Chain A
Amino acid sequence: QKEVEQNSGPLSVPEGAIASLNCTYSDRGSQSFFWYRQYSGKSPELIMFIYSNGDKEDGRFTAQLNKASQYVSLLIRDSQPSDSATYLCAVNRGQKLVFGQGTRLTINP
């Protein structure tokens, strides 16, 4: 079992709709959870982080964490073509930062 798992996609969403990205993790002791956006050929950019169970909203982005189910998700409302990218879930495991394989998201105009 991988430490951090994501559906690699591609996930295709119409412009203006809600994109939902999911991530599961194996270590119940994980405390911190991050979402990065990576455009093709570029380095990852931090867009959201969450530490406590529940929802955290920032603009069009909402991160959701359920530690009991070991599940973290990212919702993107009013999806725009500029949101087309690969989204990487990352989890702190001790002093390490472990990444999933990423989900490729395409927003169709």
Chain B
Amino acid sequence: DGGITQSPKYLFRKEGQNVTLSCEQNLNHDAMYWYRQDPGQGLRLIYYSQIVNDFQKGDIAEGYSVSREKKESFPLTVTSAQKNPTAFYLCASSPGRDRGSKAFFGQGTRLTVV
């Protein structure tokens, strides 16, 4: 089955810890995105990548880091510098840099600071 897989589904982090959220896709998509969603809110863009070994900051990149070493993988690290990390994190991918490319989402990771 082709799709986008995020893991884990639920993640608990102690204050001061870094955690890494996994996102893998087998759709052969070039572009990948990370979004954050807070309760009752829309999606805010954290980072995006259009090709391997290249990525750009979105609107709320502070306290986050990413890598894109493989086309299939775009992991997100939530660092201790992110002061309010509790949120629903969504990874998406789309076929390419074409402005009409449609993006599809993984099932999300719900991160809670304990």
Contacts and interface: CB of A to CB of B under 8 A. Distances in A.
Nearest to B4: A43
Interface of B: 31, 33, 35, 40-45, 48, 50, 56, 58, 90, 92, 94, 97, 99-108
Contacts of A51: 100
A46 B48 contact: no
Contacts of B40: 8
Interface string A35-54: 00000001111100101000
Given A44-B90, A44-B105, A46-B102, A99 B97 contact: no
A96 B100 contact: no
Contacts of B33: 97
A95 B58 CA distance: 10
Contacts of A45: 105
Interface string A70-109: 0000000000000000001010100111111110000000
Nearest to A43: B105
A100 B42 CA distance: 6
Interface of A: 4, 6, 8, 31-32, 34, 42-46, 49, 51, 88, 90, 92, 95-102
Contact of B102 (A42, A49, A102): A49
Given A43-B90, A43-B106, A92-B99, A99 B58 contact: no
A98 B107 contact: no
B48 to A, nearest CB: 6
A45 B45 CA distance: 17
Given A97-B33, A97-B92, A99-B35, A44 B43 contact: yes
A4 B43 CA distance: 11
Contact of B100 (A32, A100, A101): A32
Given A43-B90, A44-B105, A97-B92, A31 B100 contact: yes
Contact of A96 (B48, B102, B105, B106): B48
A46 B42 contact: no
A11 B31 CA distance: 34
Given A95-B50, A97-B92, A32 B42 contact: no
